[in-house]
Amino acid sequence: MDEKSGHILSAAALADRAGWAVDLVSAMAAELTFLHWSAGDVEVLASGQDAGGKRLPSNAWMALRRLGWTVAPAEGVKVNDRIVRMAQEQAGRTLRSVKWRTDLTAGVVVSWPTDPGKRTPEEWDSVREAVPGGLHLPSSVINSRTRQIAAFLRKHGRLPADVFELEAAPHTGRMLLLSACDGQQATIERADGPGRAMLRLQLPTRPDPRSYRDWTWVACPITLSPTIPAGAVLHLPTLRIHQGRVRADLAYTHAVPKARLAGHAVALGVDWGLNTLLSAGAARLHDDGQITALGTGAMFRTGGVLAKQHRLRRLSEHLHTKADHYERLTGCGTGHPLTAKHAVLAEEIRRVSARRSNLNDALARAAARWAVDQAIAAGASVIYIEDLRSMEARGTGRKMNTRLSQTVRGMIVDRMRHLAAESGIAVATVPARNTSKPCPRCLLPLRHRTAPDRPTTPGWKWAICPSCGYQGDRDQGAWQRIAARGLTHQARTVTDRTTGTMAIRTVVDILETRAVITATATTSRRDRSKTGPTRPSTTRPAPRRRRAPSPTTPSGPAGKRPEGHVPTGRTRLPRAAHRHQNVTTISTPTTGPHRPRGAALGAGFHLHTHATPPRWTEPTQDTTSCTGSRS
């Protein structure tokens, strides 16, 4: 609702007004980012100190103002200082994130290998030493940056000086960071109901506001998600336009239990897979040091989602190939006949990329929620997961390498940490080496076969231990090894100072010998093995109607067959009658003009054919109940 005029705004009108504000902020943020897209300015911002040696504020817009980096709207457009703050906040966050890419590019250029397609072990050591934090940096990140630099080398014949020559200034997102504002621009508070909130903010009434009279307060009711606790403190959201509607990314704060580094008795082990994306199960550490598995574990299968993901990937690669071909033909000109087709392809590529991003987000949310729910159900206080940041897909074929490299493991782990923190559950990574190869019970090498019924066919899915006799699914044994390794090495869990993530970096041989799963006693069952010949059965089953005459009864003559399907000597209905309805027919409509007398509660043999109801369904009239006594 527009508070000045009192008019109720439709969703389209609200999106238009919010879009005008987003355009003003995005234009100023893009200009500010372009002006300071240089190595010197990024280094000054990343140093954390101003010209006088004082520490820069943590808020990006305040740091940019301390450095004197300002921006103004277009000529003739009137905005307040809070709109400029949001532009500075967005540009400052973008420029701060460039520092890591700058150091990574510089390290790869300094240690440029002889063959960019395949580094030697010595070259890998040198590039990890040149890159900050390269010891724990995934190999795929270094390879991606190497391919980008190699493409620049082929095009220009030399290596780039820095990332600013390698990449252009990034595009700024179309959003309103209301966290950089105060009460003079936006406020949020809880409404009358527990699941409602009221957001008030100033929005323009025209695309180019000329004065402050063109800005009015708009009250926007928000329906809160059921996952937000009733006592949570709400913060100003980030507004963005999505498919013609205004979306609010709402942040809130509430108290949660603190996750522990050590002292865990029950842990959830999570193993990665391909079609079976996650395999998880719980293990318990007893007082005597023994570790037992709690159940057989579970699997999170995403075959259909991954198949759709791969189809979109192949479609994206096909569209990129066509777009590159059109670009070579047109020569980046505007008057070529294929320019329009190239624009259509570029829009289709953007749509396919958006579909892939949405699919990855949905998959990451579902997988993380499933893993945390497994931990909550098992009563686990920690989740141990494989650290596959250094995994590099090679040797499995071109298509399989691509499928392994494009899984959303990083997104799943990030969301898993976020969801687990709400329940006070710690999430720690453990080294992935030797989690699938050894036996979880005796730590001797396993023999991997295709299936349990094919013990001699080499494969990778089924694991058999020739020493202790253990056998099971490869992923099931892997999560047991991960959980056992995490429980025995929990005293060596460390917290990263920059990211706050928990990890077990190294494996100790003495502790690894204790990381075995003790087999629990199974419940004794009756031996059902065959001990004799099978009882012979006749090839001619007995007919449905009995051939023997019915016994003599007072209500009928002797020698008469049983009425309907009632067997001789039975006092209850047959099983078929109880399964369907009651007496003589199968399911028959009891409404309408066609309502046979015996079909209301019967169990017959056809929908429109009904057997005669037996006499015992109608009790015989008692002629002696009303005679009375003579005395």
Clarify whether residues 441 and 299 are in a common domain: yes
Clarify whether residues 127 and 211 are in a common domain: no
pLDDT category at 542 given cuts 50, 70, 90 is low
Clarify whether residues 426 and 495 are in a common domain: yes
Residue 532 lies in a domain: no
What average pLDDT does range 172-192 have in this prediction? 90
Residue 86 lies in a domain: yes
Clarify whether residues 440 and 498 are in a common domain: yes
What average pLDDT does range 367-392 have in this prediction? 87
Residue 618 lies in a domain: no
Q: Which domain holds residue 366?
A: 266-307+362-512
Percent above pLDDT 70 for the chain: 80
Q: How far is CA 11 from CA 17, 47, 213, 217, 244, in A?
A: 10, 44, 23, 16, 8
Clarify whether residues 388 and 465 are in a common domain: yes
How far apart CA 76 and CA 71 sit, in angstroms, is: 14
Q: Dump pLDDT digits (tens) for 332-341.
A: 667 788 888 8
Residue 446 lies in a domain: yes
Clarify whether residues 289 and 233 are in a common domain: no
Other CB atoms within 10 Å distance of the CB of residue 218:
21
Q: Dump pLDDT digits (tens) for 204-216.
A: 999 999 999 999 9
Angle, helices 11-35 vs 81-110, to 10°: value is: 50
pLDDT of residue 527: 66
Clarify whether residues 368 and 475 are in a common domain: yes
Clarify whether residues 233 and 116 are in a common domain: no
Q: Dump pLDDT digits (tens) for 463-486.
A: 888 888 888 888 888 999 999 999
How far apart CA 434 and CA 415 sit, in angstroms, is: 26
pLDDT of residue 133: 82
The alpha helices in 36-118, defined as continuous H runs, are 39-47, 60-67, 81-110
Q: How many domains does the chain have?
A: 4
How far apart CA 394 and CA 479 sit, in angstroms, is: 23
Clarify whether residues 300 and 428 are in a common domain: yes
Which residues make Cβ contacts (< 8 Å) with residue 345, sequence separation at least 6?
Answer: 319, 322, 323, 326
pLDDT of residue 132: 85
Which of these, 582, 584, 577, 586, lies nearest to 598 by C-alpha position?
A: 584
Q: The tokens 């057997």 sit on which residue? A: 611
Examine the pLDDT at 430 and tell me if it is beyond 90: yes
- The answer to whether the predicted template modeling score (pTM) of the entire model surpasses 0.85 is no
What average pLDDT does range 181-201 have in this prediction? 90
Query: Could you say which of 253, 279, 294 is where a domain stops?
Result: 253
How far apart CA 608 and CA 594 sit, in angstroms, is: 9
Q: Dihedral of CA 490/495/501/506: which sign? A: negative
Clarify whether residues 271 and 249 are in a common domain: no
How far apart CA 417 and CA 184 sit, in angstroms, is: 35
What average pLDDT does range 358-377 have in this prediction? 92
